[in-house]
Chains A and B, each alone.
Chain A
Amino acid sequence: DTGVSQDPRHKITKRGQNVTFRCDPISEHNRLYWYRQTLGQGPEFLTYFQNEAQLEKSRLLSDRFSAERPKGSFSTLEIQRTEQGDSAMYLCASSSWTGGRYNSPLHFGNGTRLTVT
């Protein structure tokens, strides 16, 4: 178990540029989540996948955000035409769900800190 890996750790970009983040979950985990966290706040749900299927996307998420998990393994989160308000820590988490009624513990990566100037 090598844990959840996220790349890059830090990203500084100018407003209007596109950015893409990558997440490699724990290998045997079938669920992958993306969260956004700003200073002093709890993680805010963005979207999640079960295997390669994107099952839910936050209604708060604008169309500039898109996520993929093409082979049910790693995932990418793309933000198009970045805005200063997108500056935050983007956290990826994975979990192993075997069909029970309770959600499984989330294992988080170290996050990608995005700064939009």
Chain B
Amino acid sequence: GQQVMQIPQYQHVQEGEDFTTYCNSSTTLSNIQWYKQRPGGHPVFLIQLVKSGEVKKQKRLTFQFGEAKKNSSLHITATQTTDVGTYFCAGPRSGGYQKVTFGTGTKLQVIP
């Protein structure tokens, strides 16, 4: 079945350093979403990408959808302590209805 893997699983960075997480799907995705989950919180929607090669920016966050629509990345420039949390990519199951499958997540820790 479809799998959505993320690397790395964990990342510790010094405040001010950049951070990137990568999302890889075993199947082509029609679209991909990114969510952030703060410690003790619930996932919060960040963005959705739908076009091949699409790049979107939200302040210090840059999201990219691969040309083949099987991978995606999230890059954070100059991390801040408020960026702490787990970042998940999520995509629809191939075919069928709109079940959203979440990736394994990347847990980011920012050291002040």
Which residues of A sit under 8 angstroms from B42, Cβ to Cβ?
91, 108-111
Bitwise, A42-65 to B at CB < 8 A (1) or not (0) is 111100101000011000000000
Q: How large is the interface on B (under 10, 10 to 19, 20 to 34, 35 or more residues)?
A: 20 to 34
Count A-side interface residues using an 8 Å CB cutoff.
Answer: 27
CB-based contact B44/A33 at 8 Å: no
In the bound complex, do residue B102 and residue A103 qualify as a contact, i.e. CB atoms below 8 Å apart? no
Given contacts A41-B105, A42-B104, contact A103 B98 (CB under 8 A): yes
Interface residues of B in 62-102 (CB under 8 A from A): 88, 90, 92, 96-102
Evaluate contact between B97 and A43: CB separation under 8 angstroms. no
Quick check: A42 and B48 within 8 Å, CB to CB? no
* Interface-central residue, A56, A91, A103, A108, by most chain B CB under 10 Å: A103
User: Which B residues are in CB contact (< 8 Å) with A106?
Assistant: 33, 35, 43, 45, 90, 100
* Complex partner residue of B99 from A48, A108, A111, CB under 8 angstroms: A48
Which residues of chain B from 22 to 80 have any CB-CB distance to chain A below 8 Å in the complex? Answer: 30-31, 33, 35, 41-45, 48, 50
Select which of B45, B97, B105 is within 8 A of A56 by beta carbon. B97
**B30 and A42: CB pair below 8 A?**
no
Q: Which residues on A sit within 8 Å (CB–CB) of B90?
A: 106
Contact check, A31 vs B98: say whether CB atoms are below 8 A apart.
yes
Q: How far is the CB of A6 from chain B (nearest CB, A)?
A: 9
Q: Are A41 and B97 in contact (CB under 8 A)?
A: no
Binding site for A on B (CB under 8 A): 30-31, 33, 35, 41-45, 48, 50, 88, 90, 92, 96-105, 107
* Residues in chain A within 8 A of chain B (CB atoms): 31, 33, 35, 40-45, 48, 50, 55-56, 91, 93, 97, 101-111
Which 10 pairs, one residue from A and one from B, show the smallest C-beta to C-beta distance? Answer: A42-B102, A105-B45, A108-B42, A103-B98, A102-B31, A43-B102, A42-B105, A103-B92, A55-B97, A108-B43
